[in-house]
Amino acid sequence: MGKTLFEKIWDAHIVVEKENSPSLIYIDRHLVHEVTSPQAFDGLRMNNRSVRRPDLTIATMDHNVPTNNRTLPILDQTSAVQIQTLEKNCKDFGIQLFDINSPNQGIVHVIGPQLGITLPGSTIVCGDSHTSTHGAFGALAFGIGTSEVEHVLASQTLWLEKPKPFEIRVEGKRKNPHAVTAKDIILSIIKNIGTSGGNGTVIEYKGEGISDLSMEQRMTICNMSIEAGARAGLIAPDEKTFEYLRGRKYTPKNYESLVDYWRDNLKTDNDAKFEKNYTLHVDNIAPQVSWGTNPGMTCDITESVPFPEDFSKGDQNQKKGAEKALEYMALNLALQLLKSK
């Protein structure tokens, strides 16, 4: 039987495999930022450990960075301390840092692709749930917690439970691509499969509605795989992917031969089996508007906000969640008015 793209990348990175247990997976790139790393570096120090592969570890500060006046001292003391701590940790452990004044500094999930650090077929981790963004390039990218950050720093590997492959097909053409964006596509998917719909899976997005998208739009889709409850999202690389990464600052020198390999190998086989499938037709979707407090609580801008009773077919928690959200959004009174009409 054939393999899915996810299974191919996973299998290529297994260091230790055991039945019914997590596998030890090799990590190709580790991105580090200031919020989820201080305790991890403290842990290394306490145990006298070094960073196993500083050359595969890249750090930047992004969460606590002022958006203007970077030449001035940072007023928020706790933010300033986190930034200084990352500077010291990178110096002590020999890790390349794109600091607050570096032209390469930026949102950690964005600079990976922009600098050509994110490569198809690789495994990427970062102490940030939205690491799934890199999946747009056909990389298997996971968000991890601080203990796992420490584990990757020390060993360049992670114990991971093998997720199940989930195929989401996005079919058709958007009628108005200026109004209906990648964000509307992923929000429509989450509205339908729910915020836990992807639990335990890696989603592969396929179909015309995906290949039509730019790399930035694909990043939006993969980014929000987390809001669908998935561990990661993936899109098989194509000519758009290869073109985007060509000639970037850290794009490997043997890039064209890598592209030849990726083109032939980084795709799901025709006879591969997915655990789960879902298809979204984009022809008729409208921009999504939130009526609630989680990313699954949206409706088409042309629809009306749902009544809690609309969820009574599902489980009780869904109905209760809708009631609470509508109350929080102060839409419950408006709905009562509609009802009394």
Partner 1 sequence: MKGNVIKYERDNIDTDVIIPGQYLKVHDYAELALHAMEGLDPDFHSKVKEGDFILSGRNFGCGSSREHAPIALSHSGIKAVLALSFARIFYRNAVDGAFLLPIEIEEDAYSNISEGDELDIDIRINEIKNLTKNKTYKMKPFSEIIGQIIEAGGLFKYKPD
- Show contacts with partner 1 in window 47-106 (CB under 8 A): 47, 63-64, 76, 78-79, 81-82
Both structure tokens of 50: 């070094």
Q: Which of 84, 265, 294, 312 binds partner 1 (CB under 8 A)?
A: 294
- C-beta separation of 60 from 104 below 8 A: yes
Residue with tokens 């000519």: 239
Q: Strand order in 23-26's β-sheet?
A: 14-16, 23-26, 157-160
As measured in angstroms, the least distance from the Cβ of 35 to partner 1 is 6
Radius of gyration of the chain (CA): 22
- Show contacts with partner 1 in window 125-154 (CB under 8 A): 127-129, 143-148, 150-151
The one segment of 224-232, 260-268, 298-306, 329-337 that binds partner 1 by CB under 8 A:
224-232
Run of H or E including 147: helix 146-155
Following DSSP, what letter does each residue of 5-59 receive, concatenated?
HHHHHHHHTEEE--TTS-EEEE-SEEEE-TTTSHHHHHHHHHTT---S-GGGEEE
* Distance in angstroms (rounded) separating the CA atoms of residues 228 and 236: 19
As measured in angstroms, the least distance from the Cβ of 66 to partner 1 is 14
- Show contacts with partner 1 in window 11-40 (CB under 8 A): 16, 18, 20-22, 24, 35-36, 38-39
Size of the site for partner 1 (CB under 8 A): 46
Residue 159 binds partner 1, judged by CB under 8 A: yes
Residue 156 binds partner 1, judged by CB under 8 A: no
* Contact residues for partner 1, defined by CB under 8 A: 16, 18, 20-22, 24, 35-36, 38-39, 43, 47, 63-64, 76, 78-79, 81-82, 127-129, 143-148, 150-151, 159, 161, 195-196, 199-200, 226, 229, 231, 294, 316-318, 320-321, 324
